[in-house]
Amino acid sequence: MKTKIILIAIILLAIVGQSYSQTDAHKKAAEEFLVVSGAELVYKASMEKMMELQTQSNPTMAQYSDIIKQWANKYISWASVKDEMVNLYSYEFSEKELKEISKFYKSPIGLKLASKIGEIMNKSSETIQKKALEHTPELQKMIMDKMGDKKD
């Protein structure tokens, strides 16, 4: 969880620090893509799921969930990152490509993908966390073994 938030923050800082020369039409195409792809809903659902998984993996944090949500709403809400996301997609895709991607997301299969992607991302996060937790003892043993090697 903490790693995901840190990675998101690093990406956002990198985006903010770069200057892009994009036309208004290019940015509008990126905004259109974010709307038709359901990026805001996916982002919000992902943030909620990350907070839920954090609480599950560290139950003592549950008592602070309201504070964490307040902080997240202030600093990493969709409203606070939307412009950076527009810049990110504008940088990675041309205006024409963004229009083509948006066209796909407006198609029946694109609409289905947009409606399922949040759920798929949440389930994949749960799967990865479950796998990691299952094998945490092995990781801990590997670290302890390496620490023991350094003492020699």
pLDDT tens digits for 132-151?
888 888 988 999 988 887 76
**In this structure, are residues 77 and 14 in contact, taking their beta carbons and an 8 Å threshold?**
no
Query: What pLDDT was estimated at residue 65?
Result: 84
Query: What pLDDT was estimated at residue 19?
Result: 45
The domain spans of the chain are 2-117
Query: What pLDDT was estimated at residue 151?
Result: 66
Q: For 71, which DSSP code?
A: H
Does 18 have pLDDT greater than 50?
no
Tokens 């969709």, located at residue: 78
Does 58 have pLDDT greater than 70?
yes
Query: What pLDDT was estimated at residue 26?
Result: 93
Instruction: Give the separation between CA 27 and CA 89, rounded to whole angstroms.
Output: 9
